[in-house]
Amino acid sequence: MEQTDSSSGVAAKTCYVAGKPVETGNILHIRSPFDGRLVGTVTLAKKADADRAIELAIAGGKRLSRFERYTILERARQLLIERKIEFAQMISAESGLAIREAIYETGRAQDVLMFAAMECLRDDGQIFSSDVSPQGKARKIFTIREPLSLAVCITPFNHPLNQVVHKIVPSIAAGTPVVLKPSEKTPLTAIKFTELLYEAGLPHYLLSVLLGPVAEIAETLVQDPRVEVVSFTGSVRVGKKIASIAGYKKIILELGGNDPIIIMEDADLDMAVYLAAEGSFRNSGQRCTAVKRILVHEKVIEPFVEKFLAKSATYTYGDPADPEIIVGTVIDEASAIFLETVVANAVEQGARVLLGGKRNGALMSPTVLVDVPRDADIVKFESFGPLAPILAFKNIEDAITLANSTAYGLSSAIVTNNLENVLRFVKDLKVGTVNVNEVPGFRMESTPFGGIKDSGLGVKEGVIEAMKHFSFVKTFSLPW
């Protein structure tokens, strides 16, 4: 099934309509953000392919038992384990992420497959006795989950594999056919994973993967009334557009973030420094839950900055294929230029750059800024790259006000050993997650994850929650 031009090392991929390759169409060229070499091509789909993918999914096919779904996902996991280096090399080549990050990402994707396979075997129904109130009677009420007729999943570039896996695997585990529209910036990994699922035995009607002009493919899929759920991860701008055009269907929106790490007066500073640096620079700072603001109690800001600078300087950046490199490129040169502008504007607004701030093509060096005004753009808006602005706060009230001061509400990290502080933050931060003595991005692939405010509608993802959204609950009752 897999199509690769092995003589040139360039992956020649195509969209698939229910397992059938799209044979003619415009060709998308994917180049390495690091050195511009051609990494692969994709034969794009047209509107007629989107319509056909919907028709074939709705027409359906063999309905899989729970055990069959388990077996396919488990087989896919085994194949991914065998091919993890191949996948990692493709992720790194098309996204510019450091190879070590890409290898880590394949491990996360294996976990998604494992948890989803496990969920396939777990009964998700409930039983309610009905003789439990004077108004009741001798009956029992049961619930079962049934698949939806069709899901559309749209994914961003920042985790080329794991974003895709987190969408389509829970859908398949729930038995719901899915049409995937991955990012145009990182389509090769998405298509390679689609091919892997077909190889693992997935009936073709359950999955199509389409790319092409947004108006012809993505918006056609989002607006089609036969689609019962749209699950989108990406920017606030596109998420709100989808919400405005989707019409009468479920929508799941996992949008941007501007997560703080809050370092209290009592914090273990070495731990705080480690977490702030990992959170800011891993994955080139391109995680929705990356640390985007470092908020430090004014009493410890001086020693923190000194230690943080030393730690940040150890984050090597450069050729993503080099296993020693920690920070690869951002997704493209335009994004790196944007980050450079964000830093320049912050400096104009009063900040000082203590480390980095240098750009070379799509490479942006890990950058540390201090004296950042609270109303600077770098504080208010999401910047998707290895930038670490540090701000001081006076006390816990001030920290909470500052943390809650943006339009986002995805996740957060607190560094403290004081239980009273912890409880106060858990109660008062307007976010989807509070991680204590951890980075904001910490999660298990099965646990509920997702934000509020502009970061999302409060609908959680993670395998277990996602399977609920990709299915519906049918209730029935019997005399008892």
Q: Is 208:14 a contact under the CB 8 Å cutoff?
A: no
The residue among 155 and 176 lying less far from ligand NAP, judged by its C-beta, is: 155
Specify the amino acid at residue 95. Answer: S
Contact with ligand NAP (CB under 6 A): which of 54, 154, 169, 251? Answer: 154
Which token pair is 247?
A: 């019409």
Specify the amino acid at residue 211. Answer: L
156 binds ligand NAP (CB under 6 A): yes
Fill in the per-residue mask, 132 to 151: x = in contact with ligand NAP (CB under 6 A), - = not in contact.
--------------------
The residue among 200 and 288 lying less far from ligand NAP, judged by its C-beta, is: 288
Residue 137 dihedral angles phi and psi, to the nearest 5° = -155, 180
| Closest CB 468 distance from ligand NAP, rounded Å | 17
Q: What dihedral do alpha carbons 128, 132, 133, 135 form, nearest 10°?
A: 60
Stretch that binds ligand NAP, among 152-160, 195-203, 259-267, 268-276 (CB under 6 A): 152-160
| Closest CB 480 distance from ligand NAP, rounded Å | 43
246 binds ligand NAP (CB under 6 A): no
235 binds ligand NAP (CB under 6 A): yes
Quick check: helix, strand or coil at residue 465?
A: helix
Which token pair is 20?
A: 């059938």
Contact with ligand NAP (CB under 6 A): which of 32, 171, 183, 471? Answer: 183
| Closest CB 177 distance from ligand NAP, rounded Å | 19
What span, in angstroms and rounded, lies between the C-alpha atoms of 451 and 409? 5
| Closest CB 153 distance from ligand NAP, rounded Å | 10
What span, in angstroms and rounded, lies between the C-alpha atoms of 287 and 387? 12
What span, in angstroms and rounded, lies between the C-alpha atoms of 182 and 154? 6
92 binds ligand NAP (CB under 6 A): no
Q: In the range 96-125, which residues lie near ligand NAP by CB under 6 A?
A: none
What span, in angstroms and rounded, lies between the C-alpha atoms of 391 and 293? 7
| Closest CB 50 distance from ligand NAP, rounded Å | 12
Sign of CA dihedral 257, 269, 314, 110: negative
- 216 burial type by CB count under 10 A (0-12 exposed, 13-18 middle, 19+ buried): middle
| Closest CB 381 distance from ligand NAP, rounded Å | 10
Of residues 265, 264, 239, the one with CA closest to residue 253: 239
Contact with ligand NAP (CB under 6 A): which of 14, 158, 194, 284? Answer: 158
Contact with ligand NAP (CB under 6 A): which of 49, 105, 119, 219? Answer: 219
Max Cα distance, the chain (Å): 76
What span, in angstroms and rounded, lies between the C-alpha atoms of 372 and 366? 16
What is the enclosing helix (H) or strand (E) of 79?
A: helix 66-82
Q: In the range 418-457, which residues lie near ligand NAP by CB under 6 A?
A: 451, 455
What span, in angstroms and rounded, lies between the C-alpha atoms of 228 and 218? 15
| Closest CB 450 distance from ligand NAP, rounded Å | 7
Sign of CA dihedral 102, 16, 445, 111: negative
Q: In the range 287-316, which residues lie near ligand NAP by CB under 6 A?
A: 288
Which token pair is 438?
A: 């951890």
The residue among 303 and 458 lying less far from ligand NAP, judged by its C-beta, is: 458
Of residues 330, 165, 335, the one with CA closest to residue 233: 165
User: Is 15 annotated in the active site?
Assistant: no
384 binds ligand NAP (CB under 6 A): yes
Q: Cα 219–221–224 angle (5° rounding)? A: 105
Q: In the range 250-279, which residues lie near ligand NAP by CB under 6 A?
A: 254-257
**How many binding residues for ligand NAP (CB under 6 A)?**
30
The residue among 367 and 455 lying less far from ligand NAP, judged by its C-beta, is: 455
| Closest CB 371 distance from ligand NAP, rounded Å | 26
Quick check: helix, strand or coil at residue 358?
A: coil
242 binds ligand NAP (CB under 6 A): yes
Q: In sequence order, what DSSP letters do the residues of 258-309 get, joined into one string?
A: -EEEEE-TTS-HHHHHHHHHHHHHGGGG--TTSEEEEEEETTTHHHHHHHHH
The residue among 152 and 370 lying less far from ligand NAP, judged by its C-beta, is: 152
Catalytic pick among 15, 120, 153, 288: 288
Contact with ligand NAP (CB under 6 A): which of 72, 238, 246, 396? Answer: 238
Which token pair is 398?
A: 């001030």
The residue among 156 and 203 lying less far from ligand NAP, judged by its C-beta, is: 156
The residue among 403 and 431 lying less far from ligand NAP, judged by its C-beta, is: 431
The residue among 255 and 263 lying less far from ligand NAP, judged by its C-beta, is: 255
Catalytic pick among 105, 195, 228, 254: 254
The residue among 257 and 260 lying less far from ligand NAP, judged by its C-beta, is: 257
What is the enclosing helix (H) or strand (E) of 17?
A: strand 16-17
Q: Residue 181: left if φ>0, alpha if ψ -120 to 50, beta else—which one?
A: beta
| Closest CB 315 distance from ligand NAP, rounded Å | 21
Q: In the range 394-423, which residues lie near ligand NAP by CB under 6 A?
A: 410
| CA 307 to each of CA 264, 268, 271: distance values in angstroms, whole numbers, following the listed order | 15, 12, 11
Quick check: helix, strand or coil at residue 192?
A: helix
User: Is 153 annotated in the active site?
Assistant: no
Interface ranges with ligand NAP (CB under 6 A): 154-158, 181-185, 214, 218-219, 222, 233-235, 238, 241-242, 254-257, 288, 382, 384, 410, 451, 455
The set of catalytic residues is 254, 288
